[in-house]
Chains A and B, each alone.
Chain A
Amino acid sequence: MASDLTNQILDALSASDAPILSSEAFPSTPSLNVKSALDRLESRQMVQYETLEKEIVTLTAEGQEIAANGSHEAKVFAVVLAAMDGLKISDLPGIVGKENAKVGQGNAFKRGWIKKDKDLLRASADSIVDETQQQLLAVQKTKTLDDKKVVADLKRRKLIGLAKELAFKITKGPKYAREFVKEQTDLTPEMIANGSWKTAHLKPYNFNAKGAPTPSGTLHPLNKVRQEFRNIFFDMGFEEMPTNRFVETGFWNFDALFVPQQHPARDLQDTFYISDPAVADPPREDPPNEPNPPAQLKADNPLDYKKYWDNVREVHEHGKFGSIGYRYPWSADESLRLVLRTHTTSISTYMLHKLAANPRPARFFSIDRVFRNESVDATHLAEFHQVEGVIADFGLTLGGLIGFMEVFFAKMGIHKLRFKPAYNPYTEPSMEIFGYHDGLGKWVEIGNSGMFRPEMLESMGLPKDLRVYGWGLSLERPTMIKYGVSNIRELLGHKVDLHFIETNPAVRLEKD
């Protein structure tokens, strides 16, 4: 019993303050058992110990057998001597066993203990000294053997082996006591009730191990990042847009944004078109509960949807509102095709049009799924999340957009921005936003921004001096950069590892 051993160790130490050696005090106890008893005592500062490592000689199974019963040749000699009239060679294996007979007979001849007389074996001495047995017995006792030649010989005969043995030099510790007090594993209600906690010794806590795993549910990492973005928007006075609308029309997704009908974004390779249901209605007022335009946008003046449609057609086809337009024959059918929205800007457009009923400053945002008919690779999926912000106000400037972006991105811990002129059919000016990534040591494109084109806004009936910023970025890209995820499928979709979801830390964009 291991607990007995702790008391035995304490007993052995009681005699004097001198150190003891485990190999001497407990020669037959396996060193692992000794160590665990010592660890238990040491953790209570009852003993101190150091580990000594030495090489020892051990007996193989065959060696142990010889130590106990003599060598093969000695066994052969014994039976030959016992057979007064000589022993028939062919009888030997039957008496001492095949193995003993084979090895022992040869060795006994070599040592001159027996001789051959026709088919008989006869003893040539009255007594012999079985050296091998004696050597092995000595090894068994001392675990050492000094004669190198003998070691080599016995090793060759596979009777001994060499091993490392741990021994421990043990001394009393500061809290040495004669008795190893039985310890409680934990504080129990009974101990509190009967007062035994006063004298109880609690098993020391292992401060190097982890605690018990706590069963927990978790939110998805990408949604945690989404929530951080939402909080940033809420901090800055933004209202969330009703993006719970995956299916859009060519009108809302493209035409109303002044994206010409031959624009490559409208190709089959880029946009998912809907085969069923087949065709949309022209824009009209939604039924009152679908999809719940926020209360503050309830129209003060009814919106003229026919006028909006005509304005969009005209501004594409012939130009209007100070624009020469794209000057191409605009197709109503193309505008009524149903698509999966390629961006949430279709919803921003819907909201800005609602704003035209009562033009005033507004701040909108959304973070939701968009769809692109892309070939799937490490950075592209047919679905991803778009983060989009819109600010409508009178007298907005381009410097204001830059200033706003600096505050917005600073809240996610990106403090160095620069802006590149870019092209986007529905914003002018358009700026690509680059952020300096310290980890990558380079400028990384982090979003797109701009001021919506007058062709788009004035078609809605918004006044000329109400200007609107729009900007967008994907939710996945900054998350992948931030958390070093290299494949978008490890972040979104059914192939995401559940373990990753469960262990992903809380998201603190401004800090991480």
Chain B
Amino acid sequence: MPTISVDKAALFQELGREYTTEEFDELCFEFGIELDEDTTNSDRPIVDGKQEPPQLKIEIPANRYDLLCFEGIALMLNIFLGRNPLPEYKLTQPARMEQIIVKEDTTKIRPYVAGAILRNIKFDQARYASFIALQDKLHQNLARQRTLVSIGTHDLDTVKGPFTYEALPPKDIKFTPLNQTQEMDGEELMNFYEKHQQLGKYLHIIRDSPVYPVIYDSNRTVCSLPPIINGDRSKISPDTTNVLIEITALDKTKLDIVSKMMVTMFSQYTLEPFTIEPVEIVSEHNNETRVTPDIAPRTAQAEVSYINQCCGLSLSPAEICTLLTKMAFHAKPSTTSPDIINVEIPPTRADVLHQCDIMEDVAIAYGFNSLPRAFPNISGTVAQPLPINKLSDIVRVETAMAGWSEVLPLILCSHDENFGWLNRKDDGNTAVKLANPKTLEFQVVRTSLLPGLLKTIRENKHHSVPMKIFEVSDVAFKDLSLERKSRNERHFAAAFYGKTSGFEVVHGLLDRVMAMLKTDFLAEGETPKGDSYYIKALDDPTYFPGHAASIHVHIGGKDKVIGSFGILHPTVLEKYELKYPVSSLELNVEAFM
């Protein structure tokens, strides 16, 4: 969730009163934003010799792009408090509409563009800083680090339309980038900004493309090279009065949202507040010729009965409409159907997709904590554990009762821990491997519980010996026959660490657990009567030669190997940095389902 810093005094002035931290926190809580910090009593940084005034740091829900700047927070809280109506945003009708003419080659790299003009805007330092910060927040969040959408803002008086949006080979684009003095071409620019702290991370978006997107004015002055940087010529400043906003994108919907946010948040500072001068986009090749921005409210319908049912209320359509006003909607009961209200979704509310979003806003306006409490009916559901968990619990409890301690290591481990350190080979068809772990500790999903047990012993060497530990949990295997190409398997494993090998102790635990699972020991030559188990000497490099056994069960008339136990091989102990012998046991409990 993004966090926005706003000037406390300025915000309270906008809201028309002072709030204590607690009061403001309460207001945020009810509205659905979160006051993270009030810096009034903190050490605040000194900027240009002046201490930063107290800030409120506010966490914003990730889908409320209209709250990403001071202007939006102040506006929406004022509407919520009933102090302001939602402004009516208007497009002006200029005598000659500015144009951006789109060339077809842009489809190869960044196909969509939109524009808007804020004419006769009056910035001051704070407004200007907020204007820049909003672009940054939109770039980081909705625009996914400028990959999907990027914004360029220009002093319209320094350039001359009509503008063209083109895609050209990097060599053919020559201009002086923002705040630089020397002219460079597209390739040189990439090298120049390669190490740049802010811009370096955006270069990859277009760097390897044969053509770069670029916006020219009618004099072939480069306005911007989206999504990297603007030209220096059209640089804006707090003194700029006519601002051209151009936005380019891969994603049309997000382009539209960003356009709306930029103009709705800052058109309040134009000479005639809340007016926006549109720009015509001429884009014949992809049928995208249109006038932007589109700030017309979207009309949606919501059912009164649905809203009342979900909220557990019995509000009249008129009451619902009144509540919706607090959430920046114009809503009116339908004249044709008593169960319908017509809701105008303003351009600021890109988050509304379905009537459930309107229903939620009714609930917020009513107050979540004021909603009538109920207890949902028990509709005859039957409680029951997952069968494999019930079986696991039997094994867990019996093992603990036998004097063993349960441990809970991690499921992810390194490739070595899972294979090489246990003297096991990876055949490539066994383990699920991770593509993007941050550390070598997490390379594979374990296929055995042993690494976790051995690491637990390694970290507990200060504990008295013998240590007797166990775990009943899942491992995972590749299984290409399944939709998810893998499956879990419930395992039981135990390890004994002490001055003697504990081989017989572990063997005894196996016998005990088998007895508790009603599985009889089958001596050599005996014919199985019911479920039974037997063990056989096993040659396995994980274990000390001659001191390992495979565990066989005879269940439902079928023989199956379910696991093994033995004294671990000293080379295994060495890898896990264990100085005393270890005997371990591991088996698949699913055989007992």
> Which residues of A are in contact with B by a Cβ distance under 8 Å?
215-220, 222-223, 230, 233-249, 262, 264, 268, 272-284, 286-287, 290-292, 294, 296, 319, 321-328, 338, 340, 360-363, 369, 371, 373-376, 381-383, 391, 393, 395-404, 406-407, 418-423, 425, 428-431, 451, 453-455, 467, 469, 492-499, 501-502
Contacts and interface: CB of A to CB of B under 8 A. Distances in A.
B409 A493 contact: yes
Contact of A230 (B253, B379, B385, B463): B385
Nearest to B368: A419
Given A237-B381, A237-B382, A273-B434, A219 B368 contact: no
Nearest to B308: A397
B12 interface: no
Most A C-beta atoms less than 10 A away, residue of B356, B363, B408, B478: B408
B47 to A, nearest CB: 30
Contact of B487 (A290, A383, A395, A397): A290
A371 B412 contact: yes
B474 A244 contact: yes
A245 B475 CA distance: 10
A282 B369 CA distance: 42
Contacts of A243: 386
B39 interface: no
Contacts of B490: 244
Contacts of B432: 246-247, 274, 276-277
Contacts, number: 306
Interface of B: 1, 29-32, 34, 61-64, 141, 144, 148, 251-254, 298, 309-312, 351, 353-357, 359-360, 363-364, 368-369, 371-389, 396-397, 399-412, 428, 431-439, 442, 445, 452, 455-456, 458-460, 463, 467-469, 474, 476, 478, 480-488, 490
Nearest to A450: B360
A246 B411 contact: yes
Given A286-B483, A404-B376, A398 B311 contact: yes
Contacts of A451: 310, 356
Contacts of B480: 277
A373 B438 contact: yes
A340 B410 CA distance: 14
Contacts of A398: 310-312, 363, 368, 371
5 contacts: A286-B483, A328-B251, A383-B412, A421-B363, A498-B456
Sort A-B residue pairs by CB-CB distance and give the 4 closest, nearest first.
A421-B32, A361-B379, A397-B312, A423-B61
B478 A276 contact: yes
A328 B350 CA distance: 14
Contacts of B351: 423
A247 B482 CA distance: 11
A240 B463 contact: no
Contacts of A275: 433-435
Given A328-B251, A400-B376, A496 B408 contact: yes
A420 B29 contact: yes
Contact of A294 (B252, B384, B458): B384
Nearest to B383: A234
B385 A234 contact: yes
A469 B375 CA distance: 12
Given A220-B406, A373-B437, A397-B311, A497 B488 contact: no
A287 B355 CA distance: 38
A333 B486 CA distance: 18
A201 B356 CA distance: 82
B175 to A, nearest CB: 30
Contact of B484 (A249, A430, A453): A249
B442 A223 contact: no
B139 to A, nearest CB: 13
B381 A239 contact: yes
Given A399-B311, A400-B312, A428 B406 contact: no
A397 B373 CA distance: 9
Contacts of B310: 396-398, 429, 451, 467
Contacts of B376: 391, 393, 396, 400-401, 403-404, 469
A240 B405 contact: no
A287 to B, nearest CB: 7
Given A277-B485, A338-B484, A420-B32, A246 B312 contact: no
A493 B379 CA distance: 39
Given A398-B311, A420-B32, A407 B375 contact: yes
Contact of A453 (B252, B354, B378, B407): B354
B438 A287 contact: no
A375 B144 CA distance: 21
Contacts of A363: 381, 383
A428 B388 contact: no
Contacts of B311: 397-399
A456 to B, nearest CB: 10
Contacts of A241: 386
B145 to A, nearest CB: 10
B403 A217 contact: yes
A399 B455 CA distance: 48
A338 B356 CA distance: 31
A242 B442 CA distance: 24
B410 A383 contact: yes
Contacts of B455: 494
A398 B360 CA distance: 9
Nearest to B405: A218
A396 B409 CA distance: 40
Nearest to B400: A217
A235 B383 contact: yes
Contact of A217 (B63, B384, B399, B433): B399
Given A217-B399, A274-B432, A423-B63, A381 B380 contact: no
A498 B61 contact: no
B371 A402 contact: yes
Contacts of B467: 498
Nearest to A215: B403
